[in-house]
Amino acid sequence: MKFGIFSVSMPEFNMEETVKLISQLGYDGVEWRVATPSPEEKPEYYTYENRYWTYNKSTLNIENIEEEAKRAKKLCDLHEIEIYSLTTYLKPHETEQIEKILKVASSIGCKNVRVFPPQYDETENYRTIFDRTVTELKCLEELALKYGVRINLEIHMGNIIPSASAAYRLVSGFDPECIGIIFDPGNMVHEGFENYKLGFELLGEYLSYVHVKNAVWKKTETLENGQEIWKPEWSPLMKGYANIPKLISNLKETGYDGYLSVEDFSNEEDTETKLKNNLRFLMSVCK
C-alpha cells in the first residue's frame, strides 16, 4: 500500500511547506484540498479545532486552479510526491466547475477528483435526491471518460451515502473507471458503520482509495427524563472506535494496494508530530 496525506490535515502549512514536510516525513503522495481560499487573517469565528476548514493554508485556490495546480505539480515532482487527488467540495450538479477541475487534473497527471455527495437533512425525500443525483452522475461519467480522470464520491455522514451499501447502490450502474468511492472509517463512526470487509467486497472495483481517520462517541448531556445524549468527535488514529488494524487487514485480504490517505482532525498533538506518528503506526500495521 501507499501512504498519503489529505492536505486538509495540515492547515498551518502553505503549499511549499506542505510538500516539503510530506516528503521529509516519508509519505508517498498528497491529496490536495481544493476550495475557496482562506482569509488572509484568522476570521472572528476561528478556533483551533475548526482551523481545518476556516483557516486552512494547505489549499489550492479553486478560483485560480490552473495556476495553483501547475505550481503544486512542480513542487511535488521536485520532492517525488504523487498528487493522487484534487479534492473539491463541489456537488454533482456543478457540472461546469467540475469539468474545469477534471481538465486541470488531466493536465498534471492526477487520476482522481472528489465531488461531494448531496446532503441529507430530512427536508427532502431521500429517493428524490437519489434519483436526481443519478441523473447528474450520468453527465459526470461522460466528463470523466472525456478527461481520463475518475470522479470519486466519499462515504460521509450527513449525506446520501453514509455507508458502503448506500454508496454502492448509488454508483453500481456506472463505469468504475469513471465513478468511484472513497472509503472513510472515521466518518462511519459518526454514521453508516458496516463490517469493513463486507464493504470492500461490495464496492470491489469502485473502491478508489481510503481516508484514514478516527472518532469516538462521548456523552454530552443527560435529559430530564434520564435519556443520555451522545455525540461523536474526532480522535487520534490509535484511540478511536474505528479498528484501523482490522481495516488494513481486510484491505489486504481483498487485494487492495492503493493509497491510505491520512485525514486526521484530532488535536492532541501538533500537526507535524501526529502526522509523523500516524505514518509510523500505519507502516507498522501494514507489515
* pLDDT tens-digit map of 151-169: 999 999 999 999 999 999 9
Using pLDDT thresholds of 50, 70 and 90, give the confidence band for residue 45. confident
What local confidence, expressed as pLDDT, does residue 244 receive? 98
41: pLDDT strictly greater than 90: no
* pLDDT tens-digit map of 94-124: 999 999 999 999 999 999 999 999 999 999 9
Q: Give which of 169, 165, 156, 163 is closest to 117, Cα–Cα.
A: 156
Q: Which residue in the block uniquely carries the three cell numbers 450502474?
A: 173
126: pLDDT strictly greater than 90: yes
Report the C-alpha gap between 161 and 117 in whole angstroms: 7
Using pLDDT thresholds of 50, 70 and 90, give the confidence band for residue 257. very high
Burial class (CB in 10 A: 0-12, 13-18, 19+), 20: middle
Residue 283 dihedral angles phi and psi, to the nearest 5°: -65, -40
Structural domain boundaries, residue 213: 2-286
Report the C-alpha gap between 82 and 221 in whole angstroms: 45
What local confidence, expressed as pLDDT, does residue 278 receive? 98
Report the C-alpha gap between 45 and 236 in whole angstroms: 24
Per-residue cell: 70:
501547475
What local confidence, expressed as pLDDT, does residue 287 receive? 87
SS3 at position 195: coil
CATH number at residue 55: 3.20.20.150
* pLDDT tens-digit map of 61-100: 999 999 999 999 999 999 999 999 999 999 999 999 999 9
CA 99 to chain centre: 19
Domain count, the chain: 1
Q: Are strands 2-6 and 228-235 parallel, antiparallel or unpaired?
A: unpaired
The radius of gyration of the chain's CA atoms, rounded to the nearest angstrom, is 18
Q: Is the dihedral of CA 276, 281, 284, 287 positive or negative?
A: negative
What local confidence, expressed as pLDDT, does residue 235 receive? 98
